[in-house]
Chains A and B, each alone.
Chain A
Amino acid sequence: DIQMTQSPSSLSASVGDRVTITCRASQSISSSLNWYQQKPGKAPKLLIYAASSLQSGVPSRFSGSASGTDFTLTISSLQPEDFAAYFCQQSYDTPWTFGRGTKVEIK
């Protein structure tokens, strides 16, 4: 299975901060990397697919990038509604695998 190592596991930030979350794949996965946001008691919500494509309806403050096997989710200016958990997921090869998540908390 392809292992996805996500960091940090949690972070504290303030409204307006720029936030960066990283995911590293255990092997090359091309650009087959997705990012999800999950709020307590809710299902994950797709934010970014194919490493850098913004899902329809998702605010433009969310962006994704890739460099080799390293992938980054950036929130350019954190908003109150962005405090949540974020997960990466590879769709290069089954079984699809997820990172362990990053919890973004209010500082």
Chain B
Amino acid sequence: QVQLQESGPGLVKPSGTLSLTCAVSGGSLISDNWWSWVRQTPGRGLEWIGEIDQSGTTNYNPSLKSRVTISMDKPKNEFSLNLRSVTAADTAVFYCARSLGVSGYYYRLDVWGQGTTVTVSS
């Protein structure tokens, strides 16, 4: 079955760029799914960051849109998150997840990575 694994630096300096990668195994990135990033903090709870589909089409949370880029590397079967100009408020546990739907409806995050903690600090 499909498994996801996040990777990337656990510490990022303020004003820098947070970069994470999600490796997809047991399945292909090229499928009728969307691939999402979600973050979690004690203060804001779970927050959907954005998603990408196999064509490279992206949707972003408007609250982060100006700072976020989600991309995919099809040969490597992985997708990535870049979050620019980070501050301490961006410290969170970041998850990648598969968004599965039926005929464009009833999407749900049915497979999740284990999560990776990213701290923004100098």
Contacts and interface: CB of A to CB of B under 8 A. Distances in A.
Interface of A: 1, 31-32, 34, 36, 42-46, 49-50, 53, 55, 87, 89, 91, 94-101
A34 B108 contact: yes
B109 A89 contact: yes
* A-B complex: 7 closest residue pairs judged by Cβ atoms: A43-B112, A49-B108, A98-B46, A95-B61, A96-B48, A91-B107, A50-B106
Interface of B: 36, 45-48, 51, 59-63, 95, 97, 99, 101, 105-110, 112-115
Residues of B contacting A: mostly = strand
Contacts of B109: 34, 36, 44, 46, 89
Contacts of A89: 46, 108-109
B108 A97 contact: no
B110 A94 contact: no
A1 to B, nearest CB: 8
5 contacts: A43-B112, A43-B114, A44-B46, A46-B108, A95-B61
Nearest to B45: A100
Given A89-B46, A95-B63, A98-B46, A49 B106 contact: yes
